[in-house]
Amino acid sequence: MSPRQRFVLIQILTFGGCFAIGVAMVELHSLVLVGVFFAWFALGSYLQFQIRCPRCDVPIAYAAQFLHISLYSGFKRTTCRNCGWDLTLPARR
């Protein structure tokens, strides 16, 4: 599975899970589900930033640096912004 495919899969699972938990929160009026919602979203965001370019080991969500602050994007990329590696190719093991 390519890094781009893993990134998209995690995005789908994160937002799909958040939507399902959000619907359950509204229907059940449960405050416990609020914590589950934020925990699910935080876990999905963390996992998205753990997917890295196989060549240069930079997170594929990395966009740029501005005033020594790293900026990240939630959009899927086909090439690495740092080294230009094709992220649609399967990762080497």
89 domain residue, yes or no: no
Q: Residue 92 has what pLDDT? A: 67
Give domain status of residue 53, yes or no.
yes
Residue 15 lies in a domain: yes
Please report whether residue 81 resides in a domain. no
Number of domains composing the chain: 1
**Does residue 46 belong to any structural domain of this protein?**
yes
The tens place of each residue's pLDDT in the chain, 93 residues long, gives: 888 888 889 889 999 999 999 999 999 988 899 999 999 999 998 888 888 888 888 888 777 777 887 777 666 678 887 788 888 888 665
- How does 45-63 read in b/e, with b if 16+ C-beta sit within 10 Å? bebbeebbbbeeeebbbbe
Between CA 54 and CA 82 the distance in angstroms is: 12
Residue 20 included in any domain: yes
pTM for this entry: 0.75
Q: Which long-range contacts (CB under 8 A, 24 or more apart) does 87-93 make?
A: 87/2, 87/3, 87/4, 87/53, 87/60, 88/2, 88/4, 88/5, 89/2, 90/1, 90/2, 91/1, 91/2, 91/3, 91/54, 92/54
In a domain, 65, yes or no: yes
What is the span of the domain harbouring residue 38? Answer: 3-72
Instruction: Answer whether residue 62 is part of any domain.
Output: yes
